[in-house]
Structure 1
Amino acid sequence: SSLPGCYIGLVIFILGAVTGIAYYGWQMHEDRRKYLVLGGFEIFCFVCCLLAVFMATLCMRSLVKSSHRHAEPVEIYLLFEAFCGEIVWCTAELARYIEIGGDVIILVVVLVRLVHVFTQTWFILIAFELVASESSGARALRGRQCVAFLLMTNLALLIFHIIESMTDGFGYVNSSMSNYTYVKLLAGPMIAFYRFHCSVCLAEVWKATFS
């Protein structure tokens, strides 16, 4: 059953709602703690996803490689395109931080985010080639719970990234426009698409890999 993963993912949704309320409350008062609360939530999600990928990898070791990928070539292409959008976003934020400076929490969030994006994308590509067999034990099927959790967490992050790409977003320390700001605004839709497409891919993994 994948219900435990869904339930834990639901907790992420609730935490996200509380974080969003706190963020906008502090934003109205121009309180810099808004960056801390949003950054803390994002780091929490990224670290949880890293742990879920690690646990899923351990659980799914007994799965066998399929003769063909579950995903169509266009799905792989879209995943790569969205992945590049995330890299552009993070690179622009790192470059802005190096040149202008800012809160250390911003740097930490971006670095953890990069590690998370690389590992999650790698996991999806690998999982697309795996399938359960008669020799796969119950432990392998527990990986389905981790996949369900990743799916729910990516949906929660999708909502946050949509808001992030529509407003000044996390990481902006001033309202002046710069080249880095324009790059992030251009990459904004892609980071939201990355979460959306990862959710689609994880749903495909949940359905096809463990069927």
Structure 2
Amino acid sequence: MKRFRAALVIAAVGFLLSACQAGPPAPQAESAPASSVPQPIPEQPTPELPSPEQPPTAAPAPPPAPALSAGEQAQLDQELIAAAKANNAPLVAALIGRGGNVNARDAIQDSAFLYAGAEGFNEVLRLTLAAGADVSSTNRYGGTALIPASEHGHVETVQILIAAGVPVNHVNNLGWTAMQEAILLNNGGPHQLEVVRLLLDAGADPDIRDPEGRTAHQNAERLGFAEIAALIRSRG
């Protein structure tokens, strides 16, 4: 019995000693306030980048001009021929823009193209060529624009017409080529000499005879145009 009591005392003392050594219980950690907890950063929208600059849209083509009646077209064409004969290039350009036909004829069979070529109205001539002039068309004498241009000694005009493709060996109703008219109907001066040179360079045939049976060389010699005759002779 005494042993049992002693064991109880020893056990009680051991419990008290262990409780004293352990100390007070550790305080519970306080939870952080809600405001101090890191919040997820909301996703920012991706800024839109400017799209590459688009090329400007081409302006729509103007609507086609209303079709003209036959009478209106005829009136417009006659106005164009009159403007060409007046050497009024701005008006010629405007009338072509309105639909004027550069190959239309007047009462004496002149077109804007034929008249401008014959008279050396070079600005008007270029406008008519750009508008589709018929370079093989002929006047009331059956001659191309090159024949009267050569007769008048319009050197630049002759160059324009040759470049445009006007036939250089065409024979008109009088039986003359551009070269024959350049010799027969002028004074044989420097302009005529240059016109004959341009024609020869373009392939004109000096052996085509006039109604009297004479060649261009024979006519140049007969009229005393020594330089022209020598030029033709030099070409064989």
- TM-score norm. by structure 1 comes to 0.24
Q: Name the TM-score, length of structure 2 as normaliser.
A: 0.22
Highest CA radius of gyration, 1 or 2? 2
Higher fraction of helix = 1
* Higher relative contact order, chain-length normalized (CA < 8 Å, sep 6+): 1
